[in-house]
Amino acid sequence: MIAAAKTLIKRHWPILRLRTILLIVLLSVAAMPVAGAVFLRVYENTLVRQTEVELVSQGAALAAAAAALWPGRAPPAGPPDKARPGYYRPESTTIDLSASRALPARPPAARDAPPADPAALAVLPALRPVIDETTRVTLASVVVLDRNGVVVQGLGLGGGQKRLPEVAAALSGRTRTVLRRQSDYRPRYSFEWLSRASGIRLHHARPIVVNGRVEGVLLLSRSPRALFSGLYEDRGKFLIGLAGLILILVLLSGLVSRGITRPIVALSRASRDVAIGQGDIPETPRTAAVEIRQLYEDFRAMAEAIARRSRYLRDFAAAVSHEFKTPLAGIGGAVELLQDHGESMSPEDRARFLANISADNARLAQLVTRLLDLARADMARPGHDVAADVARTVHRVVDAQGGTRLAIETALPATLPPVAVPEEAIETVLTVLLENSRQAGAAHAVVSAEATAGAVVLAVSDDGPGVAGSDRERLFEPFFTSHRADGGTGLGLPIARSLLAASGGRISLAPSAGGARFEVVLPLAESPG
């Protein structure tokens, strides 16, 4: 099951860039403290609003009880019409810790207040038990004021509180909740400064409406549930949140591991194995970042190029050894014979052996020269802003070959676009092809050219015997030649191919009705501007 889940995840894993993975991780790490602080603020504000809701509910119940017990209250005309629009009037919370200003602690009741309203005093004997039972459970402080703002029940009995903004709002028929500081607050824990709700108290004033008139006010106050007490009470939820946070961190570390770390470790291990000639190139991980995937592709291309180069060098060294062995053996044998029998040898034999030594020496010198030419061709790099004139180069080569037994004809259009191959490389390639035609016994050759989309195709055709079918596959191998007796080294075509490849060109043997036909593709030069 786990393996199937991994396969499914790999199949649908998004292809991410390395900078995207790092950005996700860094933003997530940076956002965690911010998210934690925001969460604590929001949670604390929720606790305060929850306290406000409780005060509103308690005040509504007590105000309704007081209104029902108030002397002179007119009896209801009938059952309430709950279907009437506007019958239900839910009250929303108004306190926001980030926006509401905390007022000073509630001042003592003014002692110059008028006498208490007799109606308010008359309702107290029946209302007081209700208040006592309520406050015993809710722990809220409840103060009852008459219509003049005089305290008839609770703290500050007999004093006036109509100057308080919340009491004034209630006397005008509106409910109001405010935040006030606690004058007797003393912090119990050193970390209570983290809580904005520490040291404040909610005060909720609610009018007592009887027969459409405000006859009194209920002033309820209570401290909000402390932040850290709330955290402790909701510890189960927070443990789940902490587990979720740890899970996010694990997922982020997995993202970094899957996208960066593990692919790099695997590639490092593979590079060590390839360096000692062991192991295979690993497959590109689907979960790797885009840059890592490109690194795998580049490493694979590099390893394949190194393998090809190693095979090429191995085969090239074997071919060089073979090519050098024959003339060296001939030179060594001739020298040995001259040393042993030079004095008794006839002048004709001595001259013949010396001629053999000279011929083998010349072949070695030619091989060394051609090997240097091949090395320079392999190391050639395309030039910048190269724009060669094909027609001029062709005419120069044809003029240089005019003294040979090969008749050369040109068939060039009136104009040809410039190509991005150096004239020296084109001259070397044409010289090699015409020299091969001469060595093959051709009497007539044609050099033609035509411009195609993005390239100039240069063709060299002759009327010689052509290339045998068995030799076509090996034609561009170093040291392969069917005219070794005529001085061929088998390096001309490999040199031509390397020179063209350095500039993005190519050479190939094309089908022909008779003789041999080689086609050289020369890429066009970039037009200025």
User: What is the chain's mean pLDDT, rounded?
Assistant: 79
Is the same domain home to 352 and 389? no
Is the same domain home to 297 and 434? no
Q: Is residue 172 included in any domain, yes or no? A: yes
3-state SS class at 188: coil
Residue 172: per-residue pLDDT: 94
Q: Is residue 441 included in any domain, yes or no? A: yes
pLDDT in tens, 331-341: 787 787 777 77
Q: Is residue 240 included in any domain, yes or no? A: no
Among 376, 405, 434, residue at a domain's last position: 376
Alpha helices, DSSP H, located in 74-219: 118-138, 165-171
On the 0-12 / 13-18 / 19+ scale of CB atoms within 10 A, 215 is buried
Domain tally, the chain: 3
Residue 250: per-residue pLDDT: 75
Q: Can you tell me the mean pLDDT for 491-513?
A: 80
Is the same domain home to 418 and 505? yes
Is the same domain home to 411 and 472? yes
Q: Which of 150, 162, 90 is nearest to 117 (CA)?
A: 150
Is the same domain home to 344 and 404? no
Is the same domain home to 392 and 514? yes
pLDDT in tens, 212-260: 899 999 999 998 866 556 555 667 776 787 787 778 777 777 777 777 7
Residue 292: per-residue pLDDT: 79
Q: Is residue 368 included in any domain, yes or no? A: yes
Q: Is residue 274 included in any domain, yes or no? A: no
Q: Can you tell me the mean pLDDT for 410-438?
A: 85
Is the same domain home to 109 and 148? yes
Residue 389: per-residue pLDDT: 87
Residue 455 has φ and ψ, to the nearest 5°, of -160, 165
Is the same domain home to 149 and 216? yes
Rounded-to-integer distance, Cα 94 and Cα 529, Å:
70
Q: Is residue 216 included in any domain, yes or no? A: yes
Place of tokens 């404040």: 200
Residue 227: per-residue pLDDT: 58
Q: Is residue 474 included in any domain, yes or no? A: yes
Q: Which of 40-54, 89-103, 441-455, 473-487 has the lowest mean pLDDT?
A: 473-487
Q: Which of 58-67, 110-119, 301-310 has the lowest mean pLDDT?
A: 301-310
Is the same domain home to 110 and 55? yes
Residue 58: per-residue pLDDT: 93
In this structure, are residues 436 and 505 in contact, taking their beta carbons and an 8 Å threshold? no
pLDDT at 140 over 70: yes
pLDDT at 318 over 80: no
Among 233, 248, 274, residue at a domain's last position: 233
pLDDT in tens, 455-487: 889 888 988 888 776 677 677 676 666 555 555
> Domain span at residue 132?
10-72+92-233
Rounded-to-integer distance, Cα 421 and Cα 505, Å:
8
Pairing, β 407-411 against β 213-222:
unpaired
Is the same domain home to 110 and 32? yes
Rounded-to-integer distance, Cα 380 and Cα 503, Å:
9
**Half-sphere CA count of 515, side-chain side, radius 13 A:** 21
Pairing, β 517-523 against β 213-222:
unpaired
pLDDT in tens, 111-122: 888 999 999 999
Among 376, 411, 442, residue at a domain's last position: 376
Q: What is the CATH number of the domain that holds 513?
A: 3.30.565.10
3-state SS class at 419: strand
Q: What is the CATH number of the domain that holds 22?
A: 3.30.450.20
Q: Provide, rounded to the nearest whole percent, the portion of the chain with pLDDT above 70.
A: 79
Strand (E) positions, 70-192? 102-103, 141-146, 151-153, 176-181
Is the same domain home to 339 and 466? no
pLDDT at 372 over 80: no
Q: Can you tell me the mean pLDDT for 187-203?
A: 69
**Residue that wins the pLDDT comparison between 167 and 499:** 167
pLDDT in tens, 389-421: 888 988 888 888 766 678 888 888 888 888 888
In this structure, are residues 330 and 355 in contact, taking their beta carbons and an 8 Å threshold? no
pLDDT in tens, 252-304: 777 777 777 778 878 887 787 777 766 677 777 777 777 778 888 888 888 77
Q: Is residue 87 included in any domain, yes or no? A: no
Is the same domain home to 372 and 417? no
pLDDT in tens, 338-360: 777 777 778 887 787 788 788 77
Q: What is the CATH number of the domain that holds 313?
A: 1.10.287.130
pLDDT at 492 over 80: no
Residue 66: per-residue pLDDT: 93
Per-residue tokens: 461: 């055709």
Residue 126: per-residue pLDDT: 92
